[in-house]
């Protein structure tokens, strides 16, 4: 091995060691790269690809070496995505944050890459994978929704845009169910005007919500209980006409009968 090759190998090893320390410490692990390998982006990529399935952090070190040494290489693009995918597969909160950061950096570095749409979709998925159930904080759902919409806006002809359409429906369904859950809690607590506000939001913002019969019913019930019979009638009627076999149709009919009875009751004796 000549002096030039020795220095190059030493530089590569030092770079990998530094990355390893930044990643949390290598302990006693080492990464050996021959001069021939260090001069080939493809060779480094093949080693990283073979390594990452067995040892994620070690594989990432190989991929980062490609990005540092051959930033314009086709393999640098692929390495960047595989680093992001590796963090994504790990799945914990901190790894998802790292994955999103890597995907964003990929888009900034390679904005015209055919894989940019995939990277944007994966950013959305890093948030979607952490969404909480209705009734709990929906910040992740809102973030995921915004990122899925960005896929459609920025990459409308991509396969990921089609997939994002379905994910947007899922996110909107979750947000609608959350708002409806909160509204029902308000209704139970007799905070009827607060319930009306939440339910109206669901009706206007998420018209495709799968449980819209419940929204109409509780809107009718809330208006009824604050003495707004005229406003309650259209909602109860909607439940009866559009969901005649639903569990709330019978209850809505009973409310409509009570409202009709109120109209016929002598002044001062309405129930």
pLDDT for the residue 235? 98
Element (H, E) at 209: none
pLDDT for the residue 262? 85
Give the SS3 label for residue 156.
Answer: coil
- Rounded CA-CA distance 156/162 in Å is 8
Give the SS3 label for residue 23.
Answer: coil
pTM: 0.79
DSSP state of 265: S
DSSP secondary structure, 158-177, as one string: SHHHHHHHHHHHHHHHHHHH
Encode the chain (271 residues) as per-residue pLDDT tens digits. 444 443 344 344 444 444 444 444 444 444 555 544 556 888 899 999 999 988 999 999 999 999 998 988 999 999 999 999 999 999 999 999 999 999 999 999 999 999 999 999 999 999 999 999 888 999 999 999 999 999 999 999 999 999 999 999 999 999 999 999 999 999 999 999 999 999 999 999 999 999 999 999 999 999 999 999 999 999 999 999 999 999 999 999 999 999 999 888 776 554 4
- Cα Rg, the chain, nearest whole Å: 29
Measure the CA dihedral 86/89/129/107, to 10°: 20
* 221, 248 contact by CB (below 8 A): no
- Rounded CA-CA distance 129/152 in Å is 19
* 83, 57 contact by CB (below 8 A): no
Structure tokens at 194: 């607060």
Residues 6+ apart with CB under 8 A from 217: 235, 236, 239, 248, 251, 252
pLDDT for the residue 72? 87
């Amino acid at each position: 091995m000549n002096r030039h090759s020795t220095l190059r190998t030493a530089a590569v090893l030092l770079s990998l060691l530094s990355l390893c320390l930044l990643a949390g410490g290598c302990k006693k692990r080492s990464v050996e790269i021959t001069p021939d390998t260090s001069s080939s982006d493809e060779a480094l990529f093949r080693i990283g690809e073979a390594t990452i399935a067995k040892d994620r952090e070690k594989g990432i070190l190989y991929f980062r070496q490609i990005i540092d040494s051959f930033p314009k290489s086709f393999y640098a693009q692929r390495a960047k995505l595989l680093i992001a995918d590796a963090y994504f597969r790990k799945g914990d909160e901190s790894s998802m944050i790292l994955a999103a950061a890597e995907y964003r950096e990929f888009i900034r570095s390679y904005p015209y890459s055919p894989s940019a749409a995939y990277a944007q979709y994966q950013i959305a998925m890093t948030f979607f994978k952490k969404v909480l159930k209705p009734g709990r904080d929906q910040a992740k759902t809102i973030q995921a929704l915004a990122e899925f919409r960005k896929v459609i806006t920025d990459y409308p002809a991509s396969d990921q845009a089609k997939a994002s359409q379905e994910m947007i429906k899922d996110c909107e369904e979750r947000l609608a169910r959350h708002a409806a859950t909160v509204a029902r809690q308000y209704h139970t607590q007799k905070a009827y005007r607060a319930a009306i506000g939440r339910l109206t939001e669901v009706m206007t913002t998420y018209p495709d919500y799968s449980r819209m019969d419940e929204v109409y019913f509780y809107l009718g019930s809330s208006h009824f209980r604050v003495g707004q019979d005229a406003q309650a009638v259209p909602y109860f009627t909607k439940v009866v006409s559009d969901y005649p076999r639903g569990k709330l149709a019978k209850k809505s009919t009973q409310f409509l009968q009570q409202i009709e009875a109120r109209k016929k009751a002598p002044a001062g004796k309405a129930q």
